[in-house]
């Protein structure tokens, strides 16, 4: 079909021409004492009036583009801040798990759906009420809708904050005491808020005011109802660190209860992948090596070592309810690991059997990712009204010679 068209080579550079007109007009305005109806008219000694008139019209349109950077700076947050927000949410649908970056596909899909809906439905409907008839009305409404979408994003963020990990601030240290014994114990110490009963296979978490580091002794007493160690007293030392979280594990050694600090510091931050993380603290007699988590065809094995009582924090590459076995023997079939949660599994065994308790260190993502859809719908509606209408408006309002300049300025 090319022979049917008349192809003309582009002539001149309109951007250069406009720049020259504007710069010359400004220079002449400051040099001349003559008053003109418009400051661009000072360039009429060198440039023809048609070019000056077209430049005036183009500049009037360009003034309307001042809010553009604000709109696009908000709009482009979909690929950064909103995606980061999605990493703190639950994408599980049962049969499929939505990844945070997959939420970005919502906008282009909605664009394809919204353009005909707005052209044949929304605009004609509101035109009956003399609203959204003029391009500037649509552009202004689109900008307001974009702002509204971020108000919704802020509301979602408020709902997400309780699920964020608590990281000890400056002047504070965090202590967790995990009870791996088969009975309840009472802990006492000189530390602030660190005296309380701890049930079997449970944990005590306290935040302690501290500067730098501090060593302290924790005193423990088992309850009279404890069949293995009734009214048994024992103690352990803990080294607390400012802005860090440390753990103490109660277990047995040579038939006696002991309290020992777990080496290192606790990792509290969630994985952006959404996988839960699990650490195992174990007090096993007799010792068993292979702890397996199973769910349908999925299984993941954690290897326990006999000379220590803990594993490192490991990602579990699936969420949901698991069956836990220890060297093939059932421990529990009701271990629930949710999206991005950080957990500690306490396992205790003796000749009577094996029991386990799950402690949530950092809560899982409980707000579903689909709650982001309303803000995507609103900002996409804003984009249709602001961006598409603005591009059309800038092209139609610009003089024939300035259409390419104005269109490029919009983009």
What would the pLDDT profile of 348-404 be if each residue is shown by its tens digit? 998 788 999 999 999 999 999 999 999 999 999 999 999 889 888 888 888 888 888
Q: Is the Cβ–Cβ distance between 251 and 220 less than 8 Å?
A: no
Q: What is the domain partition of the chain in residue ranges?
A: 60-162+368-410, 167-267, 275-364
Averaged confidence pLDDT in the chain: 91
Q: Is the Cβ–Cβ distance between 248 and 176 less than 8 Å?
A: yes
The pLDDT assigned to 132 comes to: 92
Reduced to 3 states (helix: H, G, I; strand: E, B; else coil), residue 323 is strand
Q: Is the Cβ–Cβ distance between 237 and 196 less than 8 Å?
A: no
Report pLDDT digits (tens) over 327-356: 999 999 999 999 999 999 999 998 788 999
Burial class of residue 215, CB neighbours in 10 A (0-12, 13-18, 19+):
exposed
Report pLDDT digits (tens) over 60-80: 888 888 888 888 898 999 989
Single pTM value for the model: 0.78
% of the chain exceeding 70 in pLDDT: 100
Start-to-end CA distance of the chain, whole Å, equals 30
Tally of CB atoms within 10 A around 85: 20
Whose CA is closest to 234, among 215, 253, 206, 247?
A: 253
Q: What's the mean pLDDT in 214-237? A: 92
The beta strand positions in 232-296, using DSSP E, are: 233-241, 245-253, 256-261, 277-284, 290-295
Report pLDDT digits (tens) over 245-266: 999 999 999 889 999 999 999 9
CATH code: domain 167-267 is: 2.60.40.2890
The pLDDT assigned to 343 comes to: 97
The pLDDT assigned to 187 comes to: 93
Q: Which helix (H) or strand (E) holds 356?
A: strand 353-362
Q: What's the mean pLDDT in 276-301? A: 94
pLDDT at 8 over 80: no
The pLDDT assigned to 193 comes to: 67
Q: Is the Cβ–Cβ distance between 361 and 298 less than 8 Å?
A: no
The pLDDT assigned to 12 comes to: 74
Listed range (1-15, 120-134, 164-178, 311-325) with the worst mean pLDDT: 1-15
- Please enumerate, as own/partner, the contacts of 80-83 that have beta carbons within 8 Å and a separation of 24 or more: 81/153, 82/153, 82/372, 82/375, 82/376
Q: What's the mean pLDDT in 97-120? A: 93
The pLDDT assigned to 62 comes to: 86
């Amino acid at each position: 079909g090319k022979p049917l068209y008349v192809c003309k080579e582009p002539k001149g550079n309109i951007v250069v021409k406009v720049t020259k007109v504007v710069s010359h007009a400004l220079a002449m305005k400051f040099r001349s004492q003559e008053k003109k109806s418009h400051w661009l008219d000072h360039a009429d000694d060198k440039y023809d009036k048609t070019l000056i008139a077209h430049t005036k019209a183009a500049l009037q349109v360009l003034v309307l583009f001042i809010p553009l950077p604000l709109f696009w700076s908000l709009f482009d947050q979909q690929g950064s801040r909103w995606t980061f927000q999605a990493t703190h949410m639950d994408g599980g649908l049962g049969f499929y798990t939505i990844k945070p970056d997959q939420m970005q596909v919502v906008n282009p899909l909605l664009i394809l759906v919204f353009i005909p809906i707005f052209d044949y439905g929304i605009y004609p409907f509101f035109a009956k009420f003399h609203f959204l008839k003029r391009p500037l009305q649509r552009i202004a409404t689109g900008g307001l809708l974009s702002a509204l979408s971020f108000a919704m994003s802020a509301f979602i963020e408020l709902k997400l904050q309780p699920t964020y990990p608590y990281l000890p601030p400056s002047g504070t240290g965090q202590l967790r005491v995990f009870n791996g014994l088969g009975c309840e114990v009472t802990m006492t110490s000189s530390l602030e808020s660190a005296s309380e009963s701890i049930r079997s296979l449970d944990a005590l978490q306290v935040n302690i005011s501290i500067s730098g580091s501090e060593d302290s002794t924790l005193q423990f007493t088992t309850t009279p109802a404890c069949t293995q160690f009734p009214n048994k007293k024992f103690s352990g030392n803990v080294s607390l660190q400012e802005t860090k979280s440390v753990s103490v594990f109660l277990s047995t050694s040579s038939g006696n209860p002991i309290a020992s600090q777990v080496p290192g510091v606790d990792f509290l931050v969630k994985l952006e992948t959404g996988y839960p993380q699990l650490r195992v603290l174990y007090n096993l007699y007799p010792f068993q090596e292979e702890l397996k988590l199973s769910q349908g065809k999925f299984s993941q094995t954690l290897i326990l070592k006999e000379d220590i009582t803990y594993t490192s924090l490991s990602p579990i590459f699936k969420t949901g309810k698991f069956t836990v076995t220890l060297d093939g023997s059932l421990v529990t079939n009701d271990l629930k690991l949710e999206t991005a949660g950080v957990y500690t599994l306490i396992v205790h065994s003796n000749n009577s059997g094996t029991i386990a308790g799950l402690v949530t260190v950092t809560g899982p993502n409980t707000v579903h990712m689909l709650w982001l859809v309303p803000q995507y719908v609103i900002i996409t509606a804003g984009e249709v009204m602001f961006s598409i209408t603005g591009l059309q408006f800038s092209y139609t309002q610009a003089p024939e010679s300035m259409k390419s300049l104005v269109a490029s300025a919009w983009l």
